[in-house]
Structures are given as structure tokens and as C-alpha cells.
A and B are shown apart, each in its own frame.
Chain A
Amino acid sequence: MREITLDEIEALAVGAWVLGTGGGGSPYLGLLNMRRLYAEGKRVQLMDPDELADDDMVAVVSNMGAPLVGQERLVDSANIGRAVTLMEEYLGYSFRAIMSVEIGGNNGVQPFLAAAETGKPVVDADAMGRAYPEAQMTSFAVGDLKPWPLSLVDPRGVEGIVAKVPSWKWMERLSRKMCVEVGSIAATCKAPRTGAEVKRWGILRTTTQAIALGQAILLAQKEHRDPVQAILDSEKGLLLFRGKVADIARRTTEGFLRGTAKLDGLDGWRGQGFELAFQNEWAVGWLDGVPRVMTPDLICVLDSVSGEAIGTETLRYGQRVTVVALPAPKVFLSPRGLDFVGPRAFGYDLDFRSVFDGVPT
């Protein structure tokens, strides 16, 4: 266990945004909360998963809802902290530590807000290794772990518990309804996990990974080196394409932002085209019409100059972008893992083939 510095949290916000693979919401508002909490003298400890006893209980937190609503209601550390204590009151025991369900985007920072509020450490792990659009797209669901209970909190004092559901899909349906009712944004504490479950099914050390990634980007920017190369080096990633955005089409269906982006090649890719499909996050990429990369491999679209991640909501015509792939957590590469987060889970009739197959590591 070690204390995390504010500089590391600043880096975490940068790295988590890249691991958001186009979605997950910007970590900016969470970061502002952490700056305030650290200015008030709060400090957060980061705990390695191996430090958990098998029977320790871990709170799994996330902020759910519409990013647009979040821009008005903002993010308040008190809410995510209350989601944790509410769950403790319901269960009648105390959590040993807190972890994120999703390291990518805004939720990568949320456990730190809850930890600063409650004085508990953050476990260096999550259940996605990136961002995914739906609650059942987690390693815990792949492990067929219990999906209930869930606590949900809004700042007015609305506090709800989903006591029991038969499946992860049902949990998504019920919690989504509650979230919409309290204003389409809510702090949640998901089904608690034992230390043994975290060590067996969690995606381990992703917080450390996101901090290192953010530090690599910030350092490259400071030293005027290529930040994209820094990302590739830090994450053992693959450079897939460099180009400019030639067309972008978005539509909102069933509560998700879906669409496609077309890129025209630059540099070594002149004359070639790359097409990306997204559902909140980038899902599949085609090079000249041939599938080149697909979920669960992480697809990141970066500003070619700054190396900063670009979200599916903000990509626009003319931007100079670089597409990179980062390796997916192993748990999602099994046939069962692919049922949850493979291309068919997003409606693409493709057999998953990792872009890293045959690439020496």
C-alpha cells in the first residue's frame, strides 16, 4: 500500500481518458474534486490486489448516467462516498477497500473520490480494463459472479437499493431506470466483491497502468517528443493508421451514441482509408474495407500532435488523428469473454481476431 500523489492523479486522468477508447466521459470533473480534496489535506492510499485477504470485502463504484447531464449536475465526491456507506449500512459490514468497475474515462477517478471521502484505500484493479457501454460487459459478469445488490445515490437524499436480480442484464435494466428517474446521473456502488473474487476475476493493476500511461504522455509533451510513440512504448501498443477525419456520422439509438468515422490516410497511409464504428466507445476498425481491429482489443483514436485521446462525441472533420490498438485483458479473449464483449456483442457479425495475433510481445 502506498500514498498516491496529486501529480499521479493528474496523470491518471490523462491515462484513463486514453483507456476510455472513445467513451467513458472526460475525467475532468473528477480531477477537479481530487484537487480540492488534496488541497484540504485528504490523501488516498493505493493497495495492490495481492494485499487483499480472500475474505476482505471490496466496494465497486461507478458514476452512471448521461455525460451531458454530468456537465450540469457536475460530480461531487460526497455522492460516490455516500453510495459506499449506504451499501455498508445495507449489508451490515465495512468494506476493506474500494475499486472502480471501469478504469476508462471518468470512472477511472471515481474510486479515489470515494476513498478520500471514506478514508479507505483504492484497490489497483477494475473490471473492464477500459470503458464499455453496458453494465454486463465486465470481467465479473464473465466470471458469472453475483450481480446484486446495488446502491444508488443522488444529491437530494434519494437513496435506493436493488436488492436482488436474476442476471446482469436485469441489473442494467433496473439501475438504468432508477438513474433516469433521479435526473439521468447517479453515484452507484455495484455488487460487492470478496478479495478472492477481485484477485481471480478483476483486471489487475489497471490504476498503475493508467497512471504510467498518463505520465508517459505528459512527459513526452513536456520534452517535445512524440506522445503517440510514448503511448505505444508504455502499453506495447500497435500503430494502425495515421490520417485525417474525412467523414463522421452519429446517431443516438436505444440510449447509445452510435455511428461511423472515415479517415483518409496521411504519411505512410496516403491513398488508404480507415473506417471506425462506435457504440459510445470505438468497436471495430476496417483498413480499406478489411476488418483490421475489433473489440475487445482496445482501439484508441488520438490527436496526432498532442497524443490526447479524442472521444466519439468530439471527433470532427479535418482532425489529424492516429489510431492505435492496445492489448485486451486476457479474461475477455476466452470464448465466454467474447460472448460479452466480442464484436457480436456489438452487432458485428465478425469472428474475433486480435490485431496482436502473431505479434511478438
Chain B
Amino acid sequence: MRRRIGIDVGGTNTDAVLLQDDQVLHAIKTPTTADVLTGVRLALQDVARTVGTQGVQAVMIGTTHFVNAVVQRRDLAPVGALRIGLPAAKSLPPFCDWPEDLAAIVRGQVHMVEGGLDYDGRPIMPLDEGAVAAAARSMKAAGISCIAVSSIFSPLDPGMEDRAAEILRQEIPGAAITLSHDLGRIGLLERENVALLNACLAPLARHTVQAFEEALRQAGIAASLFITQNDGTVIRAELAARFPVLSFASGPTNSMRGAAFLTGIKDALVVDVGGTTSDIGALKAGFPREANAVVRIGGVRTLFRMPDLLSIGLGGGSHVETRQDGRIVIGPRSVGFRLPELARIFGGPQLTTSDIAVRGGLLSLGDPRRVSDLDQGFVKAALAEAARMLEESVDRMKTDAAEVPLLAVGGGAFLVPDSLPGVSEVLRPAHAAVANAVGAAIAQVSGEADQVFQGLSRAEAMVEAERIARTRAVEAGADGATLSLVDIEDLPIAYLPGGALRVRARVVGEIAAQKVT
């Protein structure tokens, strides 16, 4: 018997489920509290009271706390940026493409020193260790203890970033140091931006993870604590406290994975229809497909492990309007969480998609008499417009023309019709309201490699990439015997001679049996 608790700490609600093998034994929704801790503790205590927590091996928590802090510009620490790569890239220092309001909060100090690599792994210049030590002393004098280190082509060979971290630790014991190669991909500015975001969240992450641990202790649960990541896997809590950016998108990811688990379908598209937007993502072997392009977070360009999501302005609270030419337009404006006061079915003035669905018999909500004046032809046309928006978005997220199943979750899922072109079937899982927490509870541990190989055959490079990914997964807490390769792709590098090949490999496995302390 395997028992796990999954918790999703969202901006509004904290959801928890207890999963026993493949069964949802108990599910609860409580309001998120300002201190985070209380909401998690109440949820855990409810689970303990209702079904008991004996035999629970692990608690997995997913949270949007960190990404919200960036978007809302709160609880962010000033960061010391150390870039290794001079004399290259001198004219574009760290923070050079940040929104000014965010940079003003986060930009503590900026240092650039000699070092970095060429694409073939040769140093641009040797690492200037004296300059690193001088930068460390300057940061220490200014009271800066959150530091982001980036080095040119560090994903090829992290040696210089590692050495700089050693020097920084000698000079500033206890500093929270983020190394760009731990998080990002090829693309210096985008990878550096991820490291800077991660560094500015270090104190909040440490505090939040401690609060989670305290909540477990107060609820009397002795299981290991894991935090869910953007890719649908988990890392040990103490590791997660070091990498808050890796949980930025865990909300949508957990919702997608939860939907897959609840339906038993591993390759599908998922649409999560909320009040204001619909998020559409793709699942491949039960994991979200990753975005291969720049993702903006709080106005900062980043490139790291994030799910590929398409967001459109269609939700249960979206405005429905008729233009002068007779065209029906839905969204992007929405009444959002004020649906119970502004929608027609609640006596409000605004016609929303929920009003349309009530009149069309798809939804029981509010007072249907308040929308009885709506013409059925109009209702049909409005629902057809919603279906058209979904059809186009679903098609955009497909990777080929074959039909795929579509999993519909979220409070506005009534807008998803039972059949759509290009979709083999539409499934609406049970427990969809807590799909997030279910997705957290079923998470596995992963390891990833992403680097450029030269002088190896394609087959050799792919074997090497998988080996690196497996080592990393075990380090993150996986049971080596259960690891399997879920994703591998190779990308020939344009313009470079010598058959240079960039390979990305990802493996996942079950959490190792022995408790890691």
C-alpha cells in the first residue's frame, strides 16, 4: 500500500488530497492564509482527522507563492549579480533587459569578471579568481547575501561557475548562491535572468519551505516533504528551497497531470477553463510538453524548464458582446471572481458565458429566470463561438494532425463541447476540482541533461545525455532502479562544423524508499 498527500497552495485556495495507491481517499479545499502555514496545517489536520495519516510516505506540495511574489513585486531580496565572461558581452550587463521597476528592487550589485567558454568548451579567458574574491568582498560590505552567478556557455561545462561559488562561500559564509547552469539553457541573458529571479526569492523560499515543514510537524506527520516543479516532478524540500523558480508553473502542471491520472490517459491535450482564461497544454507520456521558447515572467525574459501553455481569454466569467456587424465576441474581459455579483443569473448587469451556459441548459447556477429572455439562436451562436476559440487553440497546441483526446478541467469546463474537430474524445474527470492536488500527490522525481556534444556520434551523444540525466535524478531523490527515459531530443546546431549536436534527455522514477535526511 502506498499513501501520499498532495497539496496545492494557490492564491485563493489550498487543496489537499490523500491518495492510497490509485484511489483518492479524501479531498479538501480550504482558503489560503497569508502566512501559508495555517492553511496547509488546517488542510493536513482535516486529512488526519478524516482518514488518518498512518503510512503516509510523502507529502508533496505545489505552490504559486513564488511566481506571485515576482509578479506582485513583493518579498524580493536584493541580489548581487556575478557574470563570468569578460571581455565578451561587456556592453549588455546583468539586468540589462529587465523592467525598470523590478530591476530597482532586485539589482543590488553587478559585477563582471574575466572567464567563460567558447562553444567548443575552450575558455574565452581563464577565470579571474582575484576579481571574483573582490566582488565577493564588495557584496559582503553592502550586506548582500543572495548571489546569482552566470558564465558564458556554462551549460557545456559548469566548472567556472562552481569555482566562483567556492570563492564566494569562503568570503561570505551562508550566502544563498544560485548558479545559472543549474537552472537554464543555452541563451546567456535568459539563463542569467532565471538565476537572478531565483536568487531574489531565496529568503522567501527558505521561509516558505520552513513553514511547510512546520505545518507537517504541527499536524503530526513524519513523512518526507517534497515540492513539485514546473515539469510535474518533485524535488526534496531542502533542494526546492534553493530553487524556487522551478516551482513557478507547478499550478497548471499539476492540474494537467492530475487530469491525466484521473482519466488514465497519458497522451492528451488538457484544457483548464477558469473564470477569466483557458490554459491549454499538452501531455506526453503523462508529463507536460515543455516550452522551447522565451517565457516572460513578471516582464523578465526567461528560458528554462516550463510547460508549454497557451492562454486565451475564455472563461466562465468572460463578457459576451454582440458587435454592430452582428458578430459575437467573447472575452478577453471577464467579471472574474465577481461573477456572483455581476453576472445576469445573479441579478447583475453583465452578460457572461455562465449566463449563456445556464440558458443553454449546460449549467445550473444562480437564477435561470433572469436569463429566460435570451434568444436560443443567440445562445447557440455564442456557444459555437466559444467552441471555435477552443478548437483553434487546441489545434495550435497539437504537434501533428492526428486526433487526440482532450481532458477538460476547471470551473468553466462546461464551455468545452462534447466533440471538437481534431479531438478524438472529450473527457471530464471526477475530482476535477482538486486535480491540482492529485497532480502533486502522484509526482515522481526527474533528472535532466541538456548540453552540446562534439566529436561523438549521434547515438553516443544520446547515451551520454541519458547517463547524465540518470545521475541527476538519483541525486534529486529518485530510486535508480525505477528510472525510465521519458524524453530525448537532439538538435543539430546550425552553422557549427564538426557535427555539433545539442541533446536534451529527461528521465523520471519513483521516490527512493529510504527517507533522505
Q: Is B189 an interface residue (CB 8 A)?
A: yes
Complex Cα–Cα for A257 and B293 (A): 18
**A66 and B152 within 8 A (CB):** no
Q: How many residues of A contact B (CB 8 A)?
A: 38
Complex Cα–Cα for A175 and B85 (A): 24
Closest B residue to A317 by CB, please name it.
B399
A69-B119, A71-B186, A72-B186 known; A317-B96 Cβ under 8 A: no
Which A residues touch B397, using CB under 8 A? 318
Which B residues touch A66, using CB under 8 A? 119, 493-496
Contact of A74 (CB < 8 Å), options: B125, B188, B398, B494 = B188
Q: Is A347 an interface residue (CB 8 A)?
A: no
Closest B residue to A179 by CB, please name it.
B495
Closest B residue to A73 by CB, please name it.
B88
Which B residues touch A246, using CB under 8 A? 401
Q: Is A33 an interface residue (CB 8 A)?
A: yes
Closest A residue to B292 by CB, please name it.
A316
Q: Is B54 an interface residue (CB 8 A)?
A: no
Contact of A73 (CB < 8 Å), options: B89, B96, B120 = B89
**B496 and A184 within 8 A (CB):** yes
Complex Cα–Cα for A32 and B93 (A): 11
Give the interface centre of B88, B89, B398, B493 by most chain A CB atoms within 10 Å.
Answer: B88
**B152 and A72 within 8 A (CB):** yes
Give the interface centre of A71, A72, A74 by most chain B CB atoms within 10 Å.
Answer: A72
Count of A-B residue pairs with CB < 8 Å? 112
B residues neighboring A (CB under 8 Å): 85, 87-92, 96-97, 118-120, 124-125, 152-153, 186-190, 293, 392, 395-401, 492-497
17 contacts between A and B (CB under 8 A): A33-B91, A66-B496, A71-B187, A73-B124, A74-B91, A75-B91, A75-B92, A155-B124, A156-B124, A244-B396, A246-B401, A247-B400, A252-B494, A255-B494, A256-B495, A318-B396, A318-B398
Complex Cα–Cα for A79 and B90 (A): 10
**A184 and B495 within 8 A (CB):** yes
- Chain A stretch 120-161: residues in CB contact (< 8 A) with chain B: 155-157
CB distance from A318 to the nearest CB of B (A): 4
Give the interface centre of A29, A257, A280 by most chain B CB atoms within 10 Å.
Answer: A29
CB distance from A20 to the nearest CB of B (A): 14
Complex Cα–Cα for A256 and B495 (A): 5
Give the interface centre of A68, A246, A314 by most chain B CB atoms within 10 Å.
Answer: A68
Closest B residue to A68 by CB, please name it.
B493
**A76 and B90 within 8 A (CB):** yes
Complex Cα–Cα for A314 and B396 (A): 14
Closest A residue to B152 by CB, please name it.
A72
Q: Is the interface of A mostly helix, strand, loop or mixed?
A: mixed
Which B residues touch A78, using CB under 8 A? 90-91
Which A residues touch B152, using CB under 8 A? 72-73
**A180 and B87 within 8 A (CB):** no
- Which 10 A-B residue pairs are closest in the complex by CB-CB distance? A66-B495, A252-B492, A74-B89, A183-B118, A257-B494, A318-B396, A76-B91, A155-B87, A155-B88, A71-B187
CB distance from A333 to the nearest CB of B (A): 29
Which B residues touch A76, using CB under 8 A? 88-92
Q: Is A77 an interface residue (CB 8 A)?
A: yes
Complex Cα–Cα for A36 and B89 (A): 13
Complex Cα–Cα for A212 and B496 (A): 35
Closest A residue to B122 by CB, please name it.
A183
Which A residues touch B120, using CB under 8 A? 183
**B494 and A180 within 8 A (CB):** no
CB distance from A247 to the nearest CB of B (A): 8
CB distance from B504 to the nearest CB of A (A): 14
Q: Is A313 an interface residue (CB 8 A)?
A: yes
Give the interface centre of B97, B398, B494 by most chain A CB atoms within 10 Å.
Answer: B494
Give 19 new A-B contacts, CB below 8 A, not counting A76-B90, A313-B494. A29-B92, A33-B92, A36-B91, A66-B119, A71-B187, A72-B119, A73-B85, A73-B89, A73-B188, A74-B92, A76-B89, A156-B125, A244-B395, A247-B400, A252-B492, A252-B494, A252-B495, A255-B494, A319-B396
Q: Is A291 an interface residue (CB 8 A)?
A: no
Q: Is A119 an interface residue (CB 8 A)?
A: no
Which A residues touch B497, using CB under 8 A? 180, 255
Complex Cα–Cα for A72 and B97 (A): 15
Q: Is A327 an interface residue (CB 8 A)?
A: no
Complex Cα–Cα for A33 and B399 (A): 36
Complex Cα–Cα for A318 and B397 (A): 7
Q: Mark A309-327, 1 if CB is under 8 A from B, else 0.
A: 0000110011110000000
